[in-house]
C-alpha cells in the first residue's frame, strides 16, 4: 500500500519507520529542509521537501495512488486541510492528528459528517496519552496495561516477585485463575519469549498476562504479591494532558480519586479552576522549581509528571521515587531520556508520540483490525481483530491453523463470552481475537486473517 505522511516530526518518523519495516511504500512530506534531509538519511525513504498544504506537493508525493494519507504536522488546521485535499484526490482513508481538544470536539459538532469534512479518523495525542495514564492509575501494579473487546479482556504486564508461589510451577501446571494465560515473558537479562507450557517464570521476569478483565487483578497478584491502592493523585503540569487526565479522573464513576494538579502559570490556574469541578488546582511558583513541591509529592499515592518538559519530568519523578511515592508515571517526549528512568528504576514512562503513532498504525493494517498495541519492549505487539468469513484460519482448530512460533491467540471473545483457547478450539467467523505476536512475525497475520 502507498502511504503518504505529511509531517516528519516524531510521530511521522515513527510511522514511517514502522510502515517501511512492514514493506509498505511510504512518502513523507516535510517542509523543513533539515528534518527532510535527516529523514532521508536515517530511514531511507522518499521525502518530499515542500509544504504539505499544497495539492501540487501532495501530487508529487503520489497522493492519487495512496491508500492512506496521514497528516501529523504540528498544526491542527493544516492536518485537517491536508486530509480534505487527500479526500478530494480520492484517498480511501485519511487520518489527522488534532492536538487542540476544542478542534477535536468541534469536528463532531459541526453538523457535517466525516465524509463531508473528508477526515476519516481524528487522533488526539493529548487525550490518548491521558487515557493511557488513567488506565495505569486504575491498575497501579501493572507496568503495562491494555484493554480489548470493550474492556472485557485485559493485557497486564507485571514483575514476578520473590514471594510469588508461581515460580515453582511450569506454565501448564500454574494455578492461575480460569480465563487468563501468560502470553509473553521478558527475562531479567532482556531476552523476550512467547512461552510454551513447559516454561517457568523466574523472579524479576516481566510477565505478560491476557485474559478476562474480571480475573486479572487476582492473577497479577499471584505473580506480583503486592496491591497498590491509589487514592491521592498529584498531577504536575496543567496543560492539555494534565487537564484532560484530571477531567477523566474526577468524572470516574467507579472510583473516587482525590486529584491535585500543580500548574505554574497563574492564568492557566484560573482557567483550570473554571473548568475542573473536583480537582484541587495548586499554583506553583512561577520559576523552574514550580513543580517540585516536596510536601505534596511526598503525600501522593501516584505522581503524574506531564509538565511538557522532559528534564522537569525526570527530576520530579526521581524526587518522588526518593520520597517513596507508590506509583510514578512520567511523560517522555524524547525517547533518549528513557535510560534515565530505567536507571532510576521508574518503569512507567509514556511517550505520546509513540502512542499516537500506534493508534494510527491500526488503520494501516489490512483486515478487520480493531486495536493494535505495541509493547514497551518494542519487539511484540497485541492485535485485536475480527475473524472474517473468508480467510485461511476461519473454521480451523487452533492446532491445525499452524500459526508461526512467536504468535499466540490470547483470548477469543465470542458472543460476549471470553474464552481462553486451547488446541481443539475452532476459530469461527465473527470471533474477536486478541493475538500476542512478536513483531518479527506479525506481518504473517494477514495471510491467516485477510
Partner 1 sequence: MEYLFIGVILFLFFIVNYFFQKLRIPPLLAYILLGIGLGFLISRDMYVLLENIGDIGIMLLFFLLGLHYPLNHLLNISRRIWQVGTMDVLLNFGVTFLLAYWFGFGFFGSFIIGGVAYASSSSITIKMLEDTERDKTPEGEFKVGLLIFEDIVAPVMVSFLVGFSLEGEISGQALALISVRVVLLIAVSVLIGLYGFRKLELFVSRYLSKDFMLLFALAVAFIVAGIAIYLDLSKLLGAFLAGVVLSETRASGALDQYIEPLKNATLPFFFFGFGASISFEAGIMTPGLLLVLILWGLLAKVVVGFWGGRIYGLTWKGSLRAAFSLGQRGEFSVVIAAFGDPALRAFSGIYILVTAMIGVLNFHRAPEYAENTYVKLRKVFPGLFANGKGL
Residue 123: which H helix or E strand, with range? strand 121-123
405 binds partner 1 (CB under 8 A): no
By beta-carbon proximity to partner 1, the closer residue of 260 and 362 is 260
Cross-strand pairs, 263: 283
Using DSSP bridges, classify how beta strands 206-212 and 180-186 pair: parallel, antiparallel or unpaired.
Answer: antiparallel
Nearer to partner 1, 323 or 450 (CB): 323
Q: Is residue 370 exposed (0-12), middle (13-18) or buried (19+ Cβ within 10 Å)?
A: middle
Name the residue nearer to partner 1 (CB basis): 81 or 262.
262
- Determine, following the binding rule CB under 8 A, whether residue 135 of this chain makes contact with partner 1: no
Nearest distance from C-beta of residue 278 to partner 1, angstroms: 6
Q: Least Å distance between CB 317 and partner 1?
A: 17
**If binding is defined by CB under 8 A, does position 227 make contact with partner 1?**
no
How far apart, in whole angstroms, are the C-alpha atoms of residue 274 and residue 239?
Answer: 14
* C-alpha 403 chain-centroid distance: 25
Is residue 30 involved in binding partner 1 (CB under 8 A)?
no
The one among 170, 188, 196, 294 contacting partner 1 by CB under 8 A: 294
Beta bridge partners of 5: 28, 70
Per-position x/- string for 310-349, each x denoting binding to partner 1 as judged by CB under 8 A, each - no binding = -------------xx-------------------------
From candidates 134, 240, 279, 411, binder to partner 1 by CB under 8 A: 279
Q: Provide, for the chain, the percentages of residues in helix, strand and coil under a 3-state DSSP scheme, each rounded to the nearest 5.
A: 35, 25, 35
From the list 1-9, 45-53, 258-266, 333-341, the region that binds partner 1 by CB under 8 A is: 258-266
Asked whether 366 and 101 are in contact (CB, 8 A), the reply is no
| C-alpha cell belonging to residue 36 | 527532510
- If the CB atoms of residues 94 and 264 are measured against partner 1, the closer one turns out to be 264
CB of 290 to partner 1, least distance (A): 12
Among 282, 314, 350, 361, binds partner 1 (CB under 8 A): 282
Name which position in 65, 252, 273, 425 contacts partner 1 (CB under 8 A).
273
Residue selected from 87, 296, 381, 431 as contacting partner 1 according to rule CB under 8 A: 296
Cell numbers placing 22: 512492514
Angstrom distance (rounded) from CA 129 to CA 295: 27
Binding mask 72-111 for partner 1 (x = CB under 8 A): ----------------------------------------
Q: Is 393 left (phi over 0), alpha (psi -120 to 50) or beta?
A: alpha
Between CA 328 and CA 233 the distance in angstroms is 10
Cell 486495536 belongs to residue:
371
Alpha-carbon gap, residue 41 to 30, rounded angstroms: 14
Part in contact with partner 1 (CB under 8 A); list of ranges 69-77, 262-270, 341-349, 438-446: 262-270
Nearer to partner 1, 135 or 258 (CB): 258
- Cβ neighbours around 227 below 10 Å, total: 10
Total residues contacting partner 1 (rule CB under 8 A)? 23
Q: For residue 332, which of 360, 358, 359, 306 has the smallest C-alpha distance?
A: 306
Complex with partner 1: residue 5 or 297, whichever CB lies closer: 297
- Least Cβ distance, residue 102 to partner 1 (angstroms): 16
Choose one: 50-58, 125-133, 281-289, 357-365; the region binding partner 1 (CB under 8 A). Answer: 281-289
Tell me if 305 sits within 8 A of 322, measured CB to CB: no
Shortest CB 139 distance to partner 1, Å: 20
Query: Contact between 258 and partner 1 (CB under 8 A)?
Result: yes
**Binder to partner 1 among 34, 189, 198, 295 (CB under 8 A)?**
295
Q: Please give the Cα distance from 280 to 325 (Å, whole number).
A: 19
Is 283 a binding residue for partner 1 by CB under 8 A? The answer is: yes
Alpha helices in 159-309, H assignment, sequence order: 213-224, 240-250, 266-275, 294-298
* C-alpha triplet 263, 267, 273: angle, nearest 5°: 70
Binding site for partner 1 (CB under 8 A): 258, 260, 266-267, 270, 273-283, 294-296, 298-299, 323-324
Amino acid at each position: 500500500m502507498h502511504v503518504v505522511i505529511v509531517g516528519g516530526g516524531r510521530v511521522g518518523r515513527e510511522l514511517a519507520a514502522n510502515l517501511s519495516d512492514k514493506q509498505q511504500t511510504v512518502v513523507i512530506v516535510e517542509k523543513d529542509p533539515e528534518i527532510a534531509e535527516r529523514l532521508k538519511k536515517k530511514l531511507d525513504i522518499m521525502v518530499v521537501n515542500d509544504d504539505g498544504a499544497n495539492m501540487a506537493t501532495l501530487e508529487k508525493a503520489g497522493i492519487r495512488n495512496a491508500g492512506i494519507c496521514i497528516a501529523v504536522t504540528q498544526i491542527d488546521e493544516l492536518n485537517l486541510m491536508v486530509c480534505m485535499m487527500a479526500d478530494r484526490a480520492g484517498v480511501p482513508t485519511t487520518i489527522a492528528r488534532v492536538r487542540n481538544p476544542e478542534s477535536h470536539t468541534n469536528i463532531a459538532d459541526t453538523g457535517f459528517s466525516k465524509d463531508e469534512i473528508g477526515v476519516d479518523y481524528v487522533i488526539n495525542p493529548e487525550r490518548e496519552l491521558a487515557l493511557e495514564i488513567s488506565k495505569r492509575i486504575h491498575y497501579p501494579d501493572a507496568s503495562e496495561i491494555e484493554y480489548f473487546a470493550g474492556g472485557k479482556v485485559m493485557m497486564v504486564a507485571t514483575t514476578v516477585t520473590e514471594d510469588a508461589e508461581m515460580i515453582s510451577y511450569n506454565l501448564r501446571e500454574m494455578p492461575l485463575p480460569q480465563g487468563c494465560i501468560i502470553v509473553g515473558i521478558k527475562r531479567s537479562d532482556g531476552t523476550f519469549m512467547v512461552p510454551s507450557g513447559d516454561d517457568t517464570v523466574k523472579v524479576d521476569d516481566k510477565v505478560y498476562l491476557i485474559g478476562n478483565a474480571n480475573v486479572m487483578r487476582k492473577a497479577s497478584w499471584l505473580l506480583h504479591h503486592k496491591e497498590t491502592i491509589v487514592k491521592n493523585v498529584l498531577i504536575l503540569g496543567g496543560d492539555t494532558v494534565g487537564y484532560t487526565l484530571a477531567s477523566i479522573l474526577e468524572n470516574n464513576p467507579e472510583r473516587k480519586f482525590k486529584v491535585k494538579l500543580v500548574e505554574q502559570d497563574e492564568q492557566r490556574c484560573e482557567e483550570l479552576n473554571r473548568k475542573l469541578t473536583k480537582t484541587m488546582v495548586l499554583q506553583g511558583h512561577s520559576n523552574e522549581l514550580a513543580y517540585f513541591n516536596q510536601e505534596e509529592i511526598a503525600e501522593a499515592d501516584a505522581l503524574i509528571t506531564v509538565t511538557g518538559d522532559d528534564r522537569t519530568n525526570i527530576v520530579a519523578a526521581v524526587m518522588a521515587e526518593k520520597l517513596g511515592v507508590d506509583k510514578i508515571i512520567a511523560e517522555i517526549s524524547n525517547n533518549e531520556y528513557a535510560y534515565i528512568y530505567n536507571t532510576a528504576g521508574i518503569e512507567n514512562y509514556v511517550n505520546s508520540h509513540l502512542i499516537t503513532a500506534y493508534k494510527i498504525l491500526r488503520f494501516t493494517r489490512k483486515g478487520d483490525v480493531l486495536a493494535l498495541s505495541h509493547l514497551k519492549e518494542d519487539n511484540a505487539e497485541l492485535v485485536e481483530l475480527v475473524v472474517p468469513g473468508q480467510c485461511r484460519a476461519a473454521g480451523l482448530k487452533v492446532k491445525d491453523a499452524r500459526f508461526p512460533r512467536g504468535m499466540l491467540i490470547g483470548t477469543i471473545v465470542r458472543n460476549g463470552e471470553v474464552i481462553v483457547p486451547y488446541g481443539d478450539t475452532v476459530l469461527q467467523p465473527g470471533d474477536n481475537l486478541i493475538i500476542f505476536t512478536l513483531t518479527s512475525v506479525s506481518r504473517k497475520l494477514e495471510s491467516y486473517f485477510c
